[in-house]
Each structure stands twice: as structure tokens, then as C-alpha cells.
Chain A
Amino acid sequence: MSDFSEELIESKTEDDQEESYVFSGTGMSFPWLQNHIGTIATGGKKEKDFAQTTSACLSFIQEALLKHQWQQAAEYMHSYLQILEDSDSHKRQAAPEIIWKLGSEILFYHPKSNMETFNTFADRMKNIGVMNYLKVRFHINLYPVFHIEVKKPERNLFHSRNARYSEKANSHIVFLNFFRLFLGILQFLFFSKAPLELTLTDEDDYAYNAASQSMLNHSCKTSVNLGALIQTPGVWDPFVKSYVEMLEFYGDRDGAREVLTNYAYDEKFPSNPNAHVYLYNFLKREKAPREKLISVLKILYQIVPSHKLMLEFHSLLRKSEKEDHRKLGLEVLFGVLDFAGCTKNITAWKYLAKYLRQILMGNHLAWVQEEWNSRKNWWPDFHFSSFWAKNDWKEDKTLACEKALVAGILLGKGCRYFRFISKQDDEVLRKKIKRIKKSVENHSIVNPGL
């Protein structure tokens, strides 16, 4: 609703494209040309005062809306409605749309208006011929949502869905989906309010039964709406989330799992990392076997190697008995640290330092070298420059220590980063640095002798 004026302009251009806007080749438009062209279109005839005052009236309304003067806006609206009787059929036909938009805006915020007035207004709109009546109904239902009066708005919506829509079918289909979404959300809102009500009522009460009954009813309807929607390929993140939440609430775990699996794995859907995140979180809540969790995150790893779940993925892999899983664990850590956004992720560095030691102790030098070979050209400058050494030391000494250990292992004692950190004399960390020096000497993949 906030970019209402934009909408208005859009709708205007849709309605009378041929006369009001001039598009240059670059897709730019010159709104100031509009007036000139307007006079040309009327054949140089003087604009009637009626047309003048109504357009002045329109700008007064817009100004009032901008300043949130609903009272004044309503006053001008009273006069602006005359445009419905304009003898210029072009203007007359464009008017309902404008009136609907302005009017609903005014009624939306006007302190004296309520659901009832809003409804009557919308009802009249259908009589003056607002083209997309479904949109009108949509707005009607927005009103209670914004005014926290959710009761049973869907009733109206269901009703309007039964109506027949003729030629404009194409745009309707698009809107219908949108509409379904909204419907689903609305029901979800109702649902999320309901548990609150339930806790307030006494359990033995008859009301409790009735309430829970109606809730079941709602969830039923919602699953129809959202379920149908989610079948359509697309990105439906918030809807899937709330749908699953609802399903889980009613204990329909299988249903939820199915929805999420479908959402994540169906090839018709666009690749969507969140789908996998949702599935993973769901499975985690379900305490699914590690194997399964790993397989979900594997896909996520392929899509977003820098995802924050990757650290969790790493710890899963680390614990795994399978060799290739453990190798993948190293890969994942390196992968995370490839990203500039993760350079200061202390956990990642800690994991890497610990894991490197662990792997080297396990005699898997080849794994490390494999990873390192592709990175040795740029990691030293990317992570282990003397600038970073100074910087890290200043900002976070623990991070600097972890990094120094990794640098020492990967680049040997001579590397700038390690040298800088090891030279630092710090009371608290002295012991730690000593330990680092030791483990570097033990594990470094660079042969110091060479």
C-alpha cells in the first residue's frame, strides 16, 4: 500500500497508454510531456473547467493522502466522484480504477471508517465497473488484517472465487495464485491466533471443544489452499514454512516431510537453498539419522558452499565413520573459508586448525595437499598477509592464534603470519603460542629441511 501513487501511475499508463506517456527508445518517459500531448489530443480545444477542476481535485486528494489528511481527502473525494459522470468516455472509464484506489486508501486510514463502510464502498466499486474485481475483494480482506479484526474474512473470498471471470482469464490466473497465497496466509494468521485463545479457555469447557473444532476446520481449509499453491513450481518460502508449522502442530509429520521433500527435490522447482534448509531443520527436529542429514546438506553445500549450516555439516561429517565423508569435511571447511564473508569466522578457523591436526595425525597428508594445491597461490595473500596478522591480532587474539596455527601448518614456520604472531609477547597467550609452535613443528606439511 505504501507505493500507492506508483501503482496509480502504472494503472493510468495501462489505461490510456496511447495518449498519456511518451516513451523514448531507452525506455525513459517524460511525464511533463503528458500535459502538452493532452492538449494536442483534444485538437487544441480549450479544456473545459470541469476537466480542470477535477484534475485539480485529484491532485488535492493526492496531496492530502501524502500528508495523511484523511479528512480533507474525503472532502475532495466527494467532489472527485463527479468524474464518473464525465462526458469524456476515456476519462470516465479510467475513473473507477482511480476512485477505487484513492477511496480504499482513504477508508483504510480514516479514523471514522470501519469494516462496514469499507465493505459497502467495495461493493459499490463492483457496480461502477472496476475491472479486476478479485483485487477489490483482496483489499477488502486486507482491511481486517491491518486493523487486527481477523474473524472470518475468508468467507467473502470464497464467495468471490465462485464468480465467473471472462476474457481477462490470463491475468486472473496469475492473480488467482497470488490470491490463494493470501488466503492461505490469512488462515495461518487465524491459526496462529487460535492457540492463544485455546490457552485462555478452560479445557473442560464446551467452548474449548468448539474452538479446537473450528481450528481443525481451518487447518483443513488451509491445507487445501496452501497445498494447492505449493504444487505450483516457484519459490514459496514463507508459505511453505507456515504450512509446515501448521502441519506439525497437528502432528501430521509425514505430511510435512512430504511437502518439504517435494519442495526441495522436485526438479520442476527452481533451485532454492532455503528448501534444503527447511528440510534439514525439520529432519533435525525429527532427530533423523546422521546419514540422512548429511545427504540433505550435501546438496545445500553444492548450491551455497558458504552457508552458515556448513559448519554444522562439517561436524556431522567429522563424526562420520566413512572415509570419504571425513575427506569431504575438510573440503567443506576450506570451502567456507574461501569466501570473503567468512574470513573472520573464528569457529571455522578453530575447526580447521583442529581438523588439520587430526587429519595429519591420521596420515592423510594427501587430502590436505589436494585441497591446498588449488589454494596455495592466493590464500597466503588472502588470509595470511602481514596486514591481516596485525589486524587480527589487534581485533581478536584468539582468531589470530587459530589462523597462525593453520598458516604454520600449511605454509611452514617461515610464513609472515605465523612469524608475526609467534613474535608477539602476550602474558595470557604465551602458553598457547608455545603450543602452536610445537604443533606447527610437528605437523607442518612443508618440509622445513627443503
Chain B
Amino acid sequence: MDLEEAKEFKERCTQCAAVSWGLTDEGKYYCTSCHNVTERSKEVINTGAIPNTKIQAINRGLKRKRKLEKGWDWYVCEGFQQILYQQAEALKTLGVGPELKDEVLHNFWKRYLQKSKQAYCKNPVYTRGRKATVLEDNPSHSDWDSEPDLLSDFSCPSFVESGPDSQLDSRTQKPFPISKASQSETASICSGSLDGVKYSQQKEKGIVKMTVPRTLAFCYLSLLWQRETITLSDLLRFVEEGHIPYINAFQHFPEEMKLYGRDKGIFAIESWPAYEDIYKKMIEIAKFLDLPRFPDITEDCYLHPDILCMKYLMEVNLPDEMNDLTYQVVKMTGIGEVDFLTFDPIAKMAKTVKYDIQAVAVIVIVLKLLFLLDDNLEWTLSNIAEKYNEKNKEDKPWFDFRKWYQVMKKSVDEKKQKWEEARAKYVWKSEKPLYHSSIDRAVVYKRREMVVSLQKQFSALTDSAPTVEKKSPSSFQFNWTEGDSAGTCFHGHSLQGILKKKGQSLTTKNSLYWLSTQKFCRSYCKHVTTYEESNFSLSYQFIINLFSFLLRIKASSLHEEVSLIEKRLFKRKYSKTQKKSRSRKRRKY
């Protein structure tokens, strides 16, 4: 404790603002009132006392490096480009065709830069500070008509090729704006990117500003364009599971792209993407980009409700025979038609279908048709099925709702528990901490160091296994295999007990139905219905919760979708205003 020696250090402590320093054994300053140890170490004045010249050299080297917090000159849009690039690469490793990245997403992005006047136009916003080098050789591409031209032209190499090289190339051409750095630093508003400060303040009307969540909207748009077999909920789940870079995507920027100050607000993300949010952003961007009608979604597309229903029926362990029923419902409601399914941003009311939610809603409706889900009939039917199954062990078993409920409840609860635990253990903070200003820098780095060392200590206490093992990406979350000994797979079960012959066709034994929403909200509040859980039967709650967990969406949005499809299914009932809550319904099978 050499208080005397530490007297020359006069800065305030970052923790408690006291000026009272001592020296640690390593020669670092520490605050005597709060024990905070600084990064600063006492400079050895008498260099002659150090016998080893190597130490001196290291000393000098470290000092020089600290001053140099300057990396490349880069623009915010380049950061987003990097993120999109990483996401596209990740999608490629997930098995998406390479055209998605090189053709679709690339073009969408170029079109965005053009529409937002950042590049590919006559007078890009940056030309005052620096010439948009990417543009120089093809200044005429300002129109979507020149698409083939753009596609062949890899003038944006940092996106299609690897980022760092292109940065190096263009760096030599860029005139360095000298005044900028010094100005912004004195004002303590700074950013690692050239236009970070300006970008965060910019509020131009009619321009959709790029944000990190919007990168996902871009990804989904291109997936949709390609009619890939990834739904929006899948995409978001992959993000959450870490298969697609999103949170801390800036970590993988080239090292010379420094991020600090305002960049933090732009690139740091502390929430997972939410379905509704990304969905809205997607439509917004599609409109902003003025995209033409997307490729048709026909019956053989993955996103067609028939196929998705099949997928989700398998996922939730329901009998394959239900496929016929979902097919019927899709047909009757007309939600399987190409015009309905295809996304057309130019149309008056640009609106796309939430394919996954819709498919699931169809399944819910079919379940309601079969079992009514009033906490009564489904159990009666289960009793019948159970008795039948006991008597006829050789036959194809009847579907037993109760047994299915027990199996599903157990596995969903386990899954949910695991999911919650994994979320609680999620590592949000990047290895590369972001700081607001150069004053913060030391504190932030120190804090990071502290956290890492503490984490190391606690992970030493746990078993050697890593805390969260990465799951391999799959569009299925549950795995039911036929013929396992426990009899937990219901795919092959028959619906015989629930259907009855009528003439030549089969109808559901249950002839009752209740509507999830009787009256839709007609005001301008944008929601059509509300979901108050306690108003509904327990089985309905269970099914809604099961599916909404599967898609990681809110229960209310699934309920809403169910109501909307019911509206199409029972048009007559809704048109007649005064009707009982339980409408009778007979359907042919």
C-alpha cells in the first residue's frame, strides 16, 4: 500500500468518484475507498531500473496500441450488410439454396439501398463525405428493370464475397474525413462507424430505416420469394437457438470495423425477435421496396396449408387420418387458393398469410369439430375409445383423446421447462463489449473482464459439460416414431369411434360446435378479438397453448387466427346477427 507513490495519480475513481489511490503489487492503481482497481498502472519513471529491455518494449507497444482505437471507415449500412451476409450464409448451411443469397437477398438489399438513397442512385446521401465507391462503375442502375444486369454484376463484393477484402480495397480510395473524428470525440457523441451519429438522429419521412430486426424481415422476404421450406416461426426459432446470427451479430464483423458510441444503439440487441413484429416489418419493407407479386404458392408448396397441416399433425402426434378433415376445412374456407396465399405487396391492402399460424388454426378447428372441446364430450369419447381398445387389442386402435392429452402434456411441459431454462441461461453479452464513449471504455472493458473471470470461476464448479449444448437445427421439435414400446405415437390411430356413417359418407358423431369469437371488434383498434383464457374450456386452452408454444407466438394471436378461419367457415352464421352461441353444424366426410 504505497499511498505516497500513488499521489501523482489524480483522476477520479470510476466507481465512487473519490480521488484516493493506492498502488497494488502489480503497480496498478486502486481506489482506497471502494477497492476498484484501474487499468492504469504506475509508469516506471526510472527505466534504468528495469534490466530487461524486452519489458520496456512491451510497455511501449501497449501504450501505442491504446491510442489507436481507429479501425476502418465504415458506414452503418455496411454493418447491416455484414449481418445480412452472415444470416444468408447461415441459411445456406441450413440447407437453403444458394440462389437465396446471391440472387434474391442480394437484390432486395440493393433495391433497399437504392430506395433509401444510400447507393445505386444518382445522388446518394454519402457523396458529400465520401464517394460511394460501389457505385462508380455502374451509375445507371437505378431501376428494377435492370435487374439481370445487377444480378450478374458483383459490384458489392463485400456482400457476395468475403467482407474484409473488399473493405481493404476500397479503403485506399476513400478520402479520410479528418475533421470528423476529433469533432465528435470532443462532443462525446461518437461512433465507430462514419455515419453512426447521423444515422441515429436521422428521421426522414417515407424511408424505412434499417434496424437489426429488419434484417430478419429481409431474410424472411427472400425465403418467401424462394418458397423455401422455412416458415417465419421456424426462422425465429432458429434465431433463438442460435443457428442464425442475430443477437451480437456484430461480434463477427471484421476486427477493423470498430463499434462504439452510437453504434451500440444501432447494433446491440437485447431481445429475441417477436413473430408479430417481424411479420409487420416484413410487409413494411416489401411495400417500401415496391416489390412485385411474389411467386405463386400452389398446392405443392411447403407453405400451402395442406402440407403445413400435415407437418403440424405429425409434430403434435395426431392421427394421419385427420389430414382429410383439414383438407376439407381448407377447401371450404378457400384459404388454400393461390390468390389468397400469394403475397402481393403492391396490392391495395398488402397482407400476407401467416402460413404457419393458419395451418395450426385449421388443426384446432378440426379438433373442435371432432371433439367439441367443451371439457365434456372429448372425455366421453375417450372413454368409448379406451373401452374399445381394451377389447380389440389386435385392431388398429381408436384415437383416445385422453391418452393423447397425457402424452402431450407431459412432453410439452418437459420441453417448456427446458426451453425456459435454456432462455434463463442465454448468454446475451458479446465478448466484444460496446461502450458509449471513450470515457466509458476502460470501465466497460474492466467490467467485461470481471464478468468473464467470475464466470470462469462458476463454470469450474459445474460439471465439465458445457452449459447449453447446441441442438442441431430441425423444423420438428418433437419426435414421434411409430411402433415404439411405450405406445406414445398416435399417427396410426383411427378416428372410427368419432365418426359415423351417414348414407354413403361419414360425419362426425359430434354435431355441435361453438365459435371461438362470436362478435368481432369492428372499431379501429386493429385487433379483431381478444383472448381471455379463463373464458374457455380447459382442453381448448391446452390446445391453444400447445400450438402457440410450438410456434413461439402469443396464445392470443393463434386464437385470433382460429376465429378468423371460423368466420370464413361459418359465414352464414355470422351474417345472421342473432344466433345462439352453439351453432349446429353437419359436415360430410
Interface residues of A (CB under 8 A from B): 46, 48-51, 53, 56-57, 60, 70-71, 74-79, 81-82, 84-85, 87, 99, 103, 106-107, 110, 112-113, 117, 120-121, 124, 126-129, 133, 162-166
A117: chain B residues within 8 A (beta carbon): 457, 460-461
Q: Given contacts A49-B270, A78-B458, A85-B451, are A164 and B33 in contact (CB under 8 A)?
A: yes
User: How close is A396's CB to chain B, nearest CB, in angstroms?
Assistant: 60
The interface residues of chain A lying within 8 Å CB-to-CB of B447 are 84-85, 128
Given contacts A75-B462, A110-B461, A126-B35, contact A82 B421 (CB under 8 A): no
A60 and B426 contact, Cβ closer than 8 Å, known pairs A49-B271, A49-B272, A117-B457: no
- In the complex, what's the smallest C-beta–C-beta distance from B334 to chain A, in angstroms? 36
Minimum CB distance partner of A88 in chain B: B270
Number of A-B contacts (CB under 8 A): 114
A75 touches B425 (CB 8 A): yes
Is the beta-carbon distance between B467 and A48 smaller than 8 angstroms?
no
Cβ-defined contact, B36 with A127, below 8 A: yes
A440 shortest CB reach to chain B, Å: 78
A82 touches B424 (CB 8 A): no
CB contacts (< 8 Å) of A48 on chain B: these are: 270-271
Q: With A121-B457, A163-B32 given, is the CB distance from A82 to B428 under 8 Å?
A: yes
Contact between A71 and B462, CB atoms less than 8 A apart: yes
Measured CA separation A106–B459 after assembly (Å): 12
Convert B425-459 into 0s and 1s, putting 1 for each residue whose CB lies closer than 8 angstroms to a CB of A.
11111000100000000001001101101110111
> A-side binding surface: helix, strand, loop or mixed?
helix
Decide: B270 and A60 in contact? CB cutoff 8 A. Answer: no
Min CB distance, A285 to chain B, in Å?
46
Q: Measured between alpha carbons, how far is A126 from B32 in the docked complex, in Å? A: 11
B455 contact from A49, A78, A106, A113, Cβ within 8 A: A78
Interface residues of B in 286-303 (CB under 8 A from A): none
Q: Which residue on B lies nearest to A75, using beta carbons?
A: B462
Q: Are A53 and B423 in contact, CB atoms less than 8 angstroms apart?
A: yes
Q: Are A124 and B461 in contact (CB under 8 A)?
A: no
Binding site secondary structure of chain B: loop
| Complex Cα spacing A81 to B16, Å | 21
Q: Residue on B with the closest CB to A57?
A: B424
- Shortest beta-carbon contacts, A-B, top 6: A50-B270, A126-B35, A49-B271, A74-B461, A57-B424, A48-B270
> Interface readout for B41-81 with A: 1 if CB under 8 Å, 0 if not?
00000000000000000000000000000000000000000
B136 within 8 A of A: no
CB pair A129 B15 closer than 8 Å:
yes
Residues on A with beta carbons closer than 8 Å to the beta carbon of B453: 124
Partner of A85, one of B16, B272, B448, B460: B448
* Known contacts A78-B467, A81-B454, A84-B450; A127/B37 CB under 8 A: yes
How far does the alpha carbon of A99 sit from the alpha carbon of B421 in the complex, in Å? 19
Judged by a CB distance under 8 angstroms, whether B532 is at the interface is: no
User: Does B507 reach chain A (CB closer than 8 Å)?
Assistant: no
Residues on A with C-beta less than 8 A from B420 are 56
Q: Judging by beta carbons under 8 Å apart, are B462 and A56 in contact? A: no
The reply to whether the CB of B394 lies closer than 8 angstroms to some CB of chain A is no
Residues in chain A near residue B426, CB distance under 8 A: 53, 79
CA distance in complex: A46, B272 (Å): 12
A106 in contact with B461 (CB, 8 Å): yes
A129-B463 in contact (CB<8A): no
Task: Give every chain B residue within 8 A of A78 (Cβ-Cβ).
Answer: 425, 455, 458-459, 462, 467
- Can you name 11 extra interface pairs (CB under 8 A) apart from A50-B428, A99-B454, A164-B33? A53-B424, A74-B462, A78-B425, A78-B462, A79-B425, A82-B451, A106-B458, A110-B461, A121-B457, A129-B15, A133-B35
Asked if B350 CB lies within 8 Å of chain A CBs, one says no
Please, which residues of chain A bring their CB within 8 A of the CB of B433?
A: 85
Is the CB of B538 closer than 8 A to any CB of chain A? no
B454 near A56 with CB under 8 A, answer no
Residue numbers in B under 8 Å from A120 (CB-CB): 457
Inter-subunit contact A165/B424 (CB<8 Å):
no
**Min C-beta distance of A349 to chain B, whole Å:** 63
Measured in the bound complex, the distance between the Cα atoms of B447 and A79 in whole Å is 15
Report Cα–Cα, A129/B427, bound state, in Å. 23
Contact (Cβ within 8 A) B458 A56: no
Over the window 392-434 of chain B, the binary record of Cβ atoms lying under 8 Å from chain A Cβ atoms (1 yes, 0 no) is 0000000000000000000000000000110111111100010
Complex CA distance for A49 and B455, rounded to whole angstroms: 21
In the bound complex, how far is the Cα of B448 from the Cα of A107, in angstroms? 22
Interface centre among B1, B33, B423, B458 (most CB of A within 10 A): B458
B33 touches A165 (CB 8 A): yes
Which residues from A are CB-within-8-Å of B429? 82, 85
With the chains together, A85 CA to B268 CA distance in Å? 13
Interface centre among B420, B424, B433 (most CB of A within 10 A): B424
List the B side residues contacting A133 at CB < 8 Å. 34-35
* Distance to closest chain A CB from B446 (angstroms): 8
Which A residue sits closest to B421, measured CB to CB? A60
For A46, what are the chain B residues with a Cβ–Cβ distance below 8 Å? 271
Interface centre among B33, B420, B453, B454 (most CB of A within 10 A): B454
> Can you list 11 residue pairs at the A/B interface with Cβ under 8 Å?
A46-B271, A78-B467, A79-B426, A81-B454, A82-B427, A82-B451, A84-B447, A103-B454, A110-B461, A163-B35, A164-B20
Docked Cα-Cα span, A110 to B458, in Å, equals 10
- Across-interface contacts of B457 in A (CB, < 8 A): 117, 120-121, 124
Query: B506 near A: Cβ within 8 Å?
Result: no
> In this complex, what residue of B is CB-closest to A60?
B424
Q: Which residue of chain B has the shortest Cβ distance to A165 in the bound complex?
A: B33
Q: CB distance B424 to A79 under 8 Å? A: yes
CB atoms of B458 and A81 under 8 A apart: yes
**Is B181 part of the contact surface with A, judged by Cβ < 8 Å?**
no
Set of chain B residues within 8 Å of A164, measured between Cβ atoms: 20, 32-33
Pair B428/A53 contact, Cβ less than 8 Å:
yes
B18 interface contact, C-beta 8 A: yes
| Complex: A417 Cα to B62 Cα, angstroms | 99
Chain A residues whose C-beta falls within 8 Å of the C-beta of B270 in the assembled complex? 48-51, 87
Pick from A70, A113, A127, A166: contact of B33, CB below 8 A.
A166
State the Cβ distance, B30 to closest chain A Cβ, in Å: 9
A221–B270 alpha-carbon span in the complex (Å): 54
A75 to B422 CA separation, bound complex (whole angstroms): 11
Contact B451 A84 (CB under 8 A): yes
Please, which residues of chain A bring their CB within 8 A of the CB of B454?
A: 81, 84, 99, 103, 121, 124
CA gap between A110 and B463 in the complex, in Å: 12
CA distance A46 to B276 in the complex (A): 14
Nearest B residue to A164 via CB reads: B32
User: Is the CB–CB distance between A79 and B467 below 8 Å?
Assistant: yes
**Chain A residues within an 8 Å CB radius of B459:** 74, 78
Closest residue on chain A to residue B430 by CB atoms: A85
Q: Which residue of B lies closest to A80 (CB)?
A: B424
Q: What's the Cα separation between A51 and B426 when bound, in Å?
A: 11
B425 in contact with A124 (CB, 8 Å) = no
Partner of A71, one of B18, B35, B461: B461
Q: Which B-chain residue is minimally distant from A48 (CB atoms)?
A: B270
Known A56-B420, A79-B467; contact A124-B427, beta-carbon cutoff 8 A: no
**Residues of A close to B32: CB separation below 8 A:** 163-164
Residue pair B20, A75 in contact (C-beta under 8 Å)? no
Out of A51, A56, A71, A84, name the residue touching B424 (CB < 8 Å): A56
Q: Quick one: which of B462-521 are within 8 Å of A by CB?
A: 462-463, 467
Cβ–Cβ < 8 Å partners of B462 in chain A: 71, 74-75, 78
What is the distance, in angstroms, from A43's C-beta to the closest C-beta of chain B? Answer: 16
Contacts of B444 in A (CB 8 A): 85
A271 to B425 Cα, complex, angstroms: 55
How far does the alpha carbon of A99 sit from the alpha carbon of B447 in the complex, in Å?
Answer: 14
A164 to B18, CA, bound (A): 12
Residues of B within 8 A of A57 (CB): 424-425
Residues of B within 8 A of A82 (CB): 427-429, 451
Chain B residues in 8 Å Cβ range of A70: 461
Smallest CB gap from A110: residue in B: B461
Q: What chain B residues lie within 8 Å of A124 (beta carbons)?
A: 450, 453-454, 457
Q: Pick the contact of A127: B424, B428, B450, B458 (CB < 8 A).
A: B450
Chain A nearest Cβ from B127, distance in angstroms: 35
